Chains A and B, each alone.
Chain A
Amino acid sequence: MKGVLHLVRKELRQIFRDPTMLRIIFLMPLMQLFVLGYAVTFDVKNVALLMIDRDATSASRGLIDRFAHNEHFVVKRIADPGKGIEGYLRRGEAVLAVVIPKHFGRSLETGKPTEVEILLDGQNSNTAGIALGYCNRIIYRFASDRAADGQSRSPRVTRAPRFIEPETRIWYNPELKSVYFMIPGIIAILLTIITMLLTGLAIVKERETGTLEQLLVTPLKPWQIIAGKTIPFAMLGMAEMALATTVGVLWFGIPIVGNVALLALLGLTFILATLGLGVLISTMAGTQQQALFITWFFLQIFILLSGLFYPIENMPRVVQTITAINPLRYFVAINREIFLKGGGLGVLWPELRSLLVIGVCVFGFATMRFHKRAG
């Protein structure tokens, strides 16, 4: 036990002696938190939209008005360029162009179905789809409002179809602030970088400089060396998590409905898994650079398959099975539960169990590979 203590003390001393490293460990993630907290959103706002009015009646102006007052769009009316609309899209001057056809007003009056063309730049498939959805809603709302107002003279219109109005209430995150969901997830990602990457790097660095060999010659056992290397980063990780969570709550105003102690405990089990992975990677990497690349490789995949940005339910079965060994997936779910929904151990037990299993397996495997005696 004393051996581990010495190792931990040495490691901490080394870490704190490098001011740049310290700055990076504590300051940069905070900066990232601020930046990413505001940047990471799938909300669609300020979409540049062109309106081309080929009708110029009060009806068409009414529709334009609807778009102009919608918070999702930034509307620019332009004169009809004929066939040249696509050029605007091509030059990136707008993402959407809405074309109100001639006789739009008259068709509405007489109850004849008319058509509004929406040209959209489909590059960003996600944004395009959502923006199109908003357009549809605006147009539909406009149509149903006109029908209800009975502004037409034709009898056909009175037999207007009946419309259903959804009245929506959103639980746990009424303003659907991405931030509430993203920040805990980003904290998880930053935590993973610190614990997985730095641990792996630290071990590989000792191997490169030869000090690892010096440790292998001593009576220290493999588990002691591993513990001595991982405990400091576990401590740093928890400190970082506490700091980032505080910032999240105080600055971003994220509610913590659930139990903070539970969050800490689950955070610890998560760190167990990532540290184990860091050690495992260190047994696979010969140089620090390799360690970085291997870690980054896994990190990218973990992040993409964590459910933070893209829903896991949508993924093909095979991929969903793969996410079962992704510790980040469980921690993202845990964060979501504890911050926003207040779920307790009862709800989160499956996640805890999975994390423990992953952690123990990975650590076990890593320790096995960590031979004191080569070849």
Chain B
Amino acid sequence: MNMNEHSVIVKDLAKSFGDFLAVDRVSFEVRAGEIFGLLGANGAGKTTTIRMLAGLLRPSSGGGSVGGWDINTQFENIKKSIGYMSQRFSLYNDLTVKENLKFFGGVYGLGRAQVAARTAELDEALGLAEWLDRRTASLPLGFKQRLALGAAILHKPSIVFLDEPTSGVDPIARRRFWELINALAADGVTIIVTTHYMDEAEYCNRLCVMHVAKIVSLGSPAELKARHGAHSIEDVFIQLVRGA
């Protein structure tokens, strides 16, 4: 796959649950190595969009591709090249950090040696070394979050989906987390992240603002601020939401 091409393409993606339209014809494209944000209030449709891209939900209409694989017909193939971190940090609470990592590594097809090597790398990068043998349930929230990220990138996916990865985490931990994200992106990993923290939007290369199932604006933080004559993304957001 050409590094300059788009690694994620979304075209008129839509999803309704019965009468409720959760995602309304959303379209965007993400380049390899980009950090792309979906910004919006709770219920705007961000998580639903991500889940369709990760192959967890079938789109009602529209389509796209992730890593070159078609969302509608090749969703199983997508799974091999992506990492996913859910809002709930879905980890096994009764397993230790090391066991969680070993498990997910194994599930993604990494051999013992590979898992060990990757775990060592991640421990360094994520600062999990001292927590390795602790039960996940006893981890402070910030470390749980890092463990969840670690589990998601163990197999070195080229695209990573992060769904509200910093919910409930203190500002220092949040900042540190974004440092990790940036490091990943610098390595060429495409990152698609959803958030409702306005300040985090600034860290994205580009972002789209979602409101009531639609994308109401799309561009880099600078572009958005210029377009809407605002000083902060928060102002952009308020304008868009009020105006809509």
A220: CB under 8 A from chain B?
Answer: yes
A373: CB under 8 A from chain B?
Answer: yes
Which of A6, A210, A213, A214 is packed against the most chain B CB atoms within 10 Å?
A214
CB neighbors of A among B27-75 (8 A): 54-58, 75
Chain B residues, Cβ within 8 Å of A374: 56-58
Which of B92, B99, B108 is packed against the most chain A CB atoms within 10 Å?
B92
Complex CA gap A216/B76 in Å reads 10
**Chain A's nearest CB lies how many Å from the CB of B21?**
14
Q: CB distance A10 to B88 under 8 Å?
A: no
Interface string of A3-29 (1 = CB under 8 A from B): 101110110011001100000000000
CB neighbors of A among B71-108 (8 A): 75-76, 79-80, 82, 84, 86, 88, 90-95, 99, 103-104, 106-108
Chain B residues, Cβ within 8 Å of A211: 90-92
A218: CB under 8 A from chain B?
Answer: yes
Chain A residues, Cβ within 8 Å of B55: 217, 372-373
Partner of A216, one of B56, B91, B106: B56
Chain A residues, Cβ within 8 Å of B90: 209-211, 213-214
* CB nearest to A221 among chain B residues: B76
Interface string of B121-162 (1 = CB under 8 A from A): 000000000000000000000000000000100000000000
Q: CB distance B108 to A219 under 8 Å?
A: yes
Complex CA gap A57/B233 in Å reads 110
Complex CA gap A346/B103 in Å reads 45
Q: CB distance B82 to A2 under 8 Å?
A: no
Complex CA gap A215/B108 in Å reads 10
Q: CB distance A3 to B106 under 8 Å?
A: yes
A316: CB under 8 A from chain B?
Answer: no
Complex CA gap A179/B109 in Å reads 51
Chain B residues, Cβ within 8 Å of A213: 56, 86, 90
Chain A residues, Cβ within 8 Å of B79: 217-219
Chain A residues, Cβ within 8 Å of B109: 2-3, 219
**Chain B's nearest CB lies how many Å from the CB of A4?**
10
* CB nearest to A6 among chain B residues: B106
**Chain B's nearest CB lies how many Å from the CB of A344?**
42
Q: CB distance A218 to B104 under 8 Å?
A: yes
Q: CB distance A210 to B88 under 8 Å?
A: yes
**Chain B's nearest CB lies how many Å from the CB of A143?**
72
**Chain A's nearest CB lies how many Å from the CB of B82?**
7
The interface size bin for chain A is 20 to 34
Chain A residues, Cβ within 8 Å of B108: 218-219
* CB nearest to B81 among chain A residues: A219
A81: CB under 8 A from chain B?
Answer: no
**Chain B's nearest CB lies how many Å from the CB of A227?**
13
A155: CB under 8 A from chain B?
Answer: no
Complex CA gap A209/B148 in Å reads 14
**Chain B's nearest CB lies how many Å from the CB of A19?**
12
Complex CA gap A136/B6 in Å reads 92
* CB nearest to A220 among chain B residues: B107
Q: CB distance B56 to A10 under 8 Å?
A: no
Complex CA gap A200/B86 in Å reads 24
* CB nearest to B92 among chain A residues: A211
Q: CB distance A217 to B84 under 8 Å?
A: yes
Q: CB distance A217 to B92 under 8 Å?
A: no
CB neighbors of B among A333-375 (8 A): 372-375
Complex CA gap A373/B74 in Å reads 12
Q: CB distance A210 to B107 under 8 Å?
A: no
* CB nearest to B110 among chain A residues: A2
Q: CB distance B94 to A17 under 8 Å?
A: yes
Partner of B107, one of A17, A18, A218, A375: A218
Chain B residues, Cβ within 8 Å of A219: 76, 79-80, 107-109
**Chain B's nearest CB lies how many Å from the CB of A373?**
5
Q: CB distance A14 to B104 under 8 Å?
A: no
Q: CB distance A18 to B94 under 8 Å?
A: yes
Partner of A373, one of B57, B94, B151: B57
Chain A residues, Cβ within 8 Å of B151: 214
Chain B residues, Cβ within 8 Å of A3: 106-107, 109
Q: CB distance A373 to B75 under 8 Å?
A: yes
Complex CA gap A6/B103 in Å reads 6
Q: CB distance B84 to A214 under 8 Å?
A: yes
* CB nearest to B79 among chain A residues: A219
Interface string of A118-136 (1 = CB under 8 A from B): 0000000000000000000
Chain A residues, Cβ within 8 Å of B106: 2-3, 5-6
Q: CB distance B54 to A217 under 8 Å?
A: yes
**Chain A's nearest CB lies how many Å from the CB of B88?**
4
Complex CA gap A5/B106 in Å reads 9
**Chain A's nearest CB lies how many Å from the CB of B205?**
24
Given known A219-B76, A373-B75, contact A210–B86 (CB-CB < 8 A): yes
Offer 28 A-B interface pairs, CB within 8 angstroms, sorted by A: A2-B109, A3-B106, A3-B107, A5-B106, A6-B103, A6-B106, A10-B99, A17-B95, A18-B94, A209-B88, A209-B90, A211-B90, A211-B91, A213-B86, A214-B104, A217-B54, A217-B55, A217-B82, A217-B84, A218-B107, A219-B80, A219-B107, A221-B76, A372-B55, A373-B55, A373-B75, A374-B57, A374-B58
List 11 other contacts, CB 8 Å, given A3-B109, A210-B90: A6-B103, A210-B86, A213-B90, A214-B91, A216-B56, A217-B82, A218-B107, A219-B80, A219-B107, A221-B76, A374-B58
Residues of A bordering B, CB below 8 Å: 2-3, 5-7, 9-10, 13-14, 17-18, 209-211, 213-221, 372-375
Residues of B bordering A, CB below 8 Å: 17, 54-58, 75-76, 79-80, 82, 84, 86, 88, 90-95, 99, 103-104, 106-109, 151
Top-5 shortest CB links A-B: A6-B106, A210-B90, A214-B90, A210-B88, A217-B84
